[in-house]
């Protein structure tokens, strides 16, 4: 398996609710433990990192949450402001735009502009030589990308933009961003999936789209939340015989054990199906039997990631 942490930028993508935010943070923790200065970027302002690390609202700031680990929640409006600030050298024009309603009109009138400046900010964070004043240099930027549906579109934004603005500085900047995202040495994409029918189908088609249409490097697929295999088939058969004679609580316990066994089996079937339909290496992650995942559980996941 290729080493994910050789990259400078990792996008974590997948269907809604499969564990993108969880795995983004766990990846960040794993990289930070290896000594890489790492930042995890949330783009849909869910504030997952602030909840896990109990840091108050992270917001559009680079907040340190652990040794070697930072988090930021990228707000498109703030990114657009920052972009204009860096771009517009003429102060009077900058002020006019920022202070007036023109700013809101600009954002509303340009479809995809918010995604574009969000990716621009991600790129800025990954630069060895940051554009913002006193910008910290990171070894790795992990992006908790929007759920698919939006996911492929999100990564395609720079190319779409470059196509709309055919010439000029916006065109050139959009093209530079597209080159950065599709540069396989520096940028990788990780797909998160679940061992169920629909997520497996969607992960396979997502990999195809990302590889063929967007041109990014899909480095790995995480099959998240796999149940443990606790019993062999022989043991399961024995349990079935026990269930026939057991009564009361014993019967209920055996029934529960068998039901979990069948579920784990069905998940292995989905894992085989995924393996048959994708090219990227697959890594399984355990289901963690906790109502809410806190730092300790995320550490456990982080250990299983690489
Ligand atoms: N391996 C796991 N074991 C147990 N629970 C998990 C695991 N991975 C994720 N979860 C839980 O599943 C839920 C969804 O996870 P998460 O928020 O990371 O998904 P997401 O893909 O970011 O969702 P969204 O698309 O809404 O942003 C959360 O409650 C999380 O704690
Ligand atoms: Mg999320």
Q: 109: domain range?
A: 4-228+279-305
Q: Is residue 274 part of a domain?
A: no
Mean pLDDT of 210-222: 96
Q: Which tokens sit at 293?
A: 């995942």
Beta bridge partners of 283: 222
Q: Which tokens sit at 24?
A: 């983004």
Q: Is residue 256 part of a domain?
A: no
pLDDT in tens, 264-273: 999 999 999 9
Task: Return the residue whose CA atom lies nearest to atom 7 of ligand 1.
Answer: 225
CB atoms within 10 A of CB 101: 7
| Helix 248-277 × helix 233-245 angle, to 10° | 150
- Kindly state the DSSP code that residue 153 receives in the 8-state scheme: H
The pLDDT value given to residue 90: 75
- Report how far ligand 2's centroid is from the alpha carbon of 156 (Å): 20
Q: Is residue 218 part of a domain?
A: yes
pLDDT in tens, 40-70: 999 976 778 888 888 888 888 999 999 999 9
Q: Is residue 264 part of a domain?
A: no
Write down the mean pLDDT value for the chain: 91
Ligand 1 atom closest to the Cα of residue 16 is 25
**Rounded distance between C-alpha atoms, residue 158 and residue 7, angstroms:** 20
Report yes or no: 39 and 142 within 8 Å, Cβ to Cβ: yes
* Residue 220 Cβ contacting ligand 1 at under 6 Å: no
On the question of pLDDT at 119 being above 60, the answer is yes
Q: Report the number of distinct structural domains present in the chain.
A: 1
- Give, for ligand 1, the residue of 17, 49, 194, 228 to mutate: max count of ligand atoms closer than 8 Å to Cβ: 17
pLDDT in tens, 225-241: 999 999 999 999 999 99
Which ligand neighbours the alpha carbon of 17 most closely?
A: 1
Task: Please list all protein residues whose beta carbon sits less than 5 angstroms from ligand 2, which is an ion.
Answer: 20-21
Report yes or no: 246 and 254 within 8 Å, Cβ to Cβ: yes
Domain with residue 65: its CATH number is: 3.40.50.300
Read off the pTM.
0.93
- Per DSSP bridges, beta strands 9-14 and 187-193 are parallel
Q: 235-241: which pairs have CB atoms within 8 A and are 24 or more residues apart?
A: 236/261
How much of the chain exceeds pLDDT 70, in percent? 98
Report yes or no: 286 and 226 within 8 Å, Cβ to Cβ: yes
Q: Is residue 83 part of a domain?
A: yes
Report yes or no: 82 and 132 within 8 Å, Cβ to Cβ: yes
Q: Is residue 133 part of a domain?
A: yes
* Residue 22 Cβ contacting ligand 1 at under 6 Å: yes
* Residue 146 Cβ contacting ligand 1 at under 6 Å: no
Q: Is residue 184 part of a domain?
A: yes
CB atoms within 10 A of CB 217: 18
């Amino acid at each position: 398996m290729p080493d994910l942490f050789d990259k400078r930028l990792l996008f974590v993508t997948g269907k809604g609710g499969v564990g993108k935010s969880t795995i983004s943070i766990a990846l960040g923790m794993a990289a930070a433990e290896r000594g890489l200065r790492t930042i995890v970027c949330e783009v849909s302002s869910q504030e997952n990192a602030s909840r896990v690390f109990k840091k108050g609202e992270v917001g559009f700031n680079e907040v340190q949450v652990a040794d070697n680990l930072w988090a930021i929640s990228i707000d498109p409006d703030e990114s657009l402001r920052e972009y204009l600030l860096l771009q517009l050298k003429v102060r009077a024009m900058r002020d006019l735009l920022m202070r007036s309603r023109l700013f809101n009109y600009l954002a509303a009138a340009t479809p995809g502009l918010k995604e574009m400046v969000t990716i621009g900010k991600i790129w800025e964070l990954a630069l060895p030589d940051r554009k913002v004043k006193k910008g910290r240099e990171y070894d790795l930027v992990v992006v908790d990308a929007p759920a698919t549906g939006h996911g492929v579109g999100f990564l395609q934004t720079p190319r779409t933009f470059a196509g709309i603005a055919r010439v000029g500085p916006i065109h050139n900047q959009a093209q530079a961003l597209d080159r950065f995202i599709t540069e396989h040495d520096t940028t990788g994409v990780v797909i998160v999936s679940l061992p169920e029918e629909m997520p497996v189908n969607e992960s396979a088609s997502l990999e195809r789209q990302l590889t063929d249409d967007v041109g990014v490097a899909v480095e790995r697929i995480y099959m998240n939340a796999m149940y443990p295999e606790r019993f062999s088939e022989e043991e399961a058969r024995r349990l079935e015989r026990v269930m026939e004679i057991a009564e009361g609580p014993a019967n209920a316990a055996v029934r529960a054990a068998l039901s979990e066994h069948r579920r784990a089996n069905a998940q292995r079937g989905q894992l085989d199906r995924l393996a048959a339909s994708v090219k990227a290496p697959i890594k399984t992650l355990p289901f963690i039997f906790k109502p809410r995942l806190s730092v300790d559980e995320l550490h456990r996941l982080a250990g299983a990631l690489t």
